[in-house]
Amino acid sequence: MKKTVSRRSRILEVLDQFGEVNVSQLSQELDVSEVTIRNDLANLEKNKLLIRAHGGAFKVSNLALPVAEKKKINLDIKKRIGKKAASLIEENDAIILDSGTTTMEITNNLGGFEKLTVISNALDIINNLSKFNNLDVMMPGGYLKEFSMSLVGPMAERNLRQLHCNKLFLGVDGFKADVGVFTHHMEEAYLNQIMIDISEEVIVVADSSKFTKVGLAFIGSFDKIHKVITDSNVDEKHVKMLEKNNVEVIVV
């Protein structure tokens, strides 16, 4: 019993430090089977201390916040990123806005365009775009994922594949050096991959805190990404890593 308590305490320490844990890594570090780790995670989730996901778990505060609460985090930074992202859009563009609180801020800067086509799978983004009369707004359909207020699934995937866009503004949950960008959910990662395939230019919008996190679901490698817009708190080592991978970094 004492070993169990000690092991679960260590899991929470790792979770608090990194925001997420991986079953395989914990199994190696704590020298127990992956089955034992999964049982530990199940117990901790039952006590509302974490949220399990494929291959691991996330800190409750990182994942379980409602969208309305997430919008308040780093809001000034997200506004600056959103304004800069909008400045890269040209008249007559067809753009995709991925779901996310940073991509949401882009929508507040689209009122000055005469003609623009905007595609999004996020209900809150579509709702915010409805206040503009100058936009052609499209949704790919799908089923609702409440955590992110986004539509995912086969319908969304099939409909997106019929389109071609000038720019994709992609929100991510984390970066892994020299590997690529990640999100927390498998369904969203697959939809993001399709968005990348149908877009001429891929622009990631992410505040600097995302560089210290890695989601469980892989979206794409850096060779698929053209630009990253982030804030001035970003560590220089992350900027150099992106530039080494031929990604243009825009700091606001």
CATH of the domain at 111: 3.40.50.1360
Q: pLDDT grade, residue 211 (50/70/90)? A: very high
- CATH code: domain of residue 30: 1.10.10.10
Residues 51, 82 share a domain: no
Please determine, for residue 63, whether its predicted confidence score (pLDDT) is greater than 70. Answer: no
Structural domain count of the chain: 2
What pLDDT, on a 0 to 100 scale, did the predictor assign at position 195? 98
- 110: phi > 0 → left, psi -120 to 50 → alpha, else beta; which? alpha
Q: pLDDT grade, residue 146 (50/70/90)? A: low
Residues 130, 50 share a domain: no
Residues 207, 82 share a domain: yes
More confident residue, 240 or 44: 240
Residues 122, 166 share a domain: yes
What pLDDT, on a 0 to 100 scale, did the predictor assign at position 64? 46
Residues 196, 88 share a domain: yes
- What value does the mean pLDDT take over residues 67-85? 80
Please determine, for residue 48, whether its predicted confidence score (pLDDT) is greater than 90. Answer: no
Q: In which domain, by residue range, is 18 found?
A: 2-63
Residues 109, 25 share a domain: no
- What value does the mean pLDDT take over residues 154-174? 96
More confident residue, 80 or 148: 80
Residues 166, 100 share a domain: yes
Q: pLDDT grade, residue 185 (50/70/90)? A: confident
Pair type for strands 20-22 and 56-59: antiparallel
More confident residue, 64 or 228: 228
Residues 186, 245 share a domain: yes
Pair type for strands 56-59 and 116-120: unpaired
pTM of the model: 0.76
Q: pLDDT grade, residue 34 (50/70/90)? A: very high
Residues 179, 116 share a domain: yes
More confident residue, 65 or 155: 155
Residues 219, 197 share a domain: yes
Sign of the alpha-carbon torsion through 139, 81, 85, 218: negative
What pLDDT, on a 0 to 100 scale, did the predictor assign at position 135? 95
